[in-house]
Amino acid sequence: MSNAPRLTALDALHRSLGATMTDFAGWDMPLRYGSERDEHNAVRTRAGLFDLSHMGEITVTGPEAMKALNYALVGNIATIGPGRARYTMICQEDGGIVDDLIVYRLGDTEYMVVANAGNAQIVLDAITERAAGFDAEVRDDRDAYALIAVQGPASPGILKSVTDADLDGLKYYAGLPGTVAGVPALIARTGYTGEDGFELFVAPEHAEQLWRALTEAGQDAGLVPCGLSCRDTLRLEAGMPLYGHELTTALTPFDAGLGRVVKFEKDGDFVGRTALEAAAEKAAANPPRKLVGLIAEGRRVPRAGFSVVADGEVIGEVTSGAPSPTLGKPIAIAYVDAAHAAPGTAGVGIDIRGTHEAYEVVALPFYKREK
């Protein structure tokens, strides 16, 4: 096995655009093309184009595909209508989060699970193992798709100019097959930016044609190519968790404040049910640390792993931090003790290399688009 990074179908195109490349979960990915701030602001005000081909697609088909996924995952897969998508998680037997996922129901007995790049193999192995007792087939489709996202307020108009698919009828967290710029695609109204937008699953050999067509269609609307760096600040402002930061195997969905994704009322057993029932009870009786937003009063930027402090005591830990282009101040997401988690709690700071910098506690998200 070579340790050379995997390349997406758009690799040569990114390099021709002068992208700064970085290794991300074993893939060579564009970090930025120009200014991270400009790319971020383009998505907030106009539109941005992302290559997300590093995400891991797993297809589950067969008469018991739904039952297999209901057993493998914590969500209720039975209630996903055809053409709809659902945010959910896969957990260990002890309730720890293996990954957060989006499940698309493509047909009566066909589902596509999209996992994070760094966890794709682990998730594939877990679903394969858990589906063994069911009449269902699990297929590794990571090489079958390239994934291109167009995100931002101008994205519906841009996409409409290159497809005759009914975008107006496509709700958030829904997907439909269509043709975009002459290329067959699964068009999903999903994203990780806090803006309206679409994710387009296409065959890798069609990726470049689609990217170029979208670039051309978005020229007048101010669309720019965007890298992973602004994707991170966009999701941070939108209060969206990132696996390895807000979500880990050491935490249950209840620890992460995402207990709502666990559906105990669904039919049949699922992996982690017993541990998660205990975690739900514990969280209700004695809330663990809560996930909150922190906004800096100064200019210093907090990073993951920094301690959150109050009255000289450590009361929590930063999971993600960055300068926020939209707020114009450094921001952080952190787990803090419930006693200090209420918005407006006074006296909270972050230990930044020995200095306690003052921060304001706020409810997540930091940014919510106007509908």
For 289-371, CATH gives 2.40.30.110
Tell me if residue 274 falls in helix, strand or coil: helix
Q: What is the mean pLDDT of residues 32-56?
A: 98
CATH T-level assignment (fold) for domain 6-53+145-237: Gyrase A; domain 2 (3.30.1360)
Query: Per residue in 100-151, pLDDT tens?
Result: 999 999 999 999 999 999 999 999 999 999 999 999 999 999 999 999 999 9
Residue-level pLDDT at 296: 97
What is residue 315's DSSP assignment?
A: E
Q: How far is CA 174 from CA 78, 118, 327, in A?
A: 16, 25, 30
User: Which residues belong to CATH 2.40.30.110 in the chain?
Assistant: 289-371
Q: What is the mean pLDDT of residues 203-228?
A: 98
CB 247 within 8 A of CB 259: no
Model confidence, pTM:
0.96
User: Which residues belong to CATH 3.30.1360.120 in the chain?
Assistant: 6-53+145-237
Q: How far is CA 288 from CA 251, 256, 262, 278, 285, in A?
A: 11, 9, 17, 13, 9
Higher pLDDT, 364 or 4: 364
Measured distance CA(83)–CA(67) in Å, rounded: 18
- What percentage of the chain carries pLDDT values higher than 70? 99
Q: How far is CA 298 from CA 33, 323, 333, in A?
A: 29, 11, 16
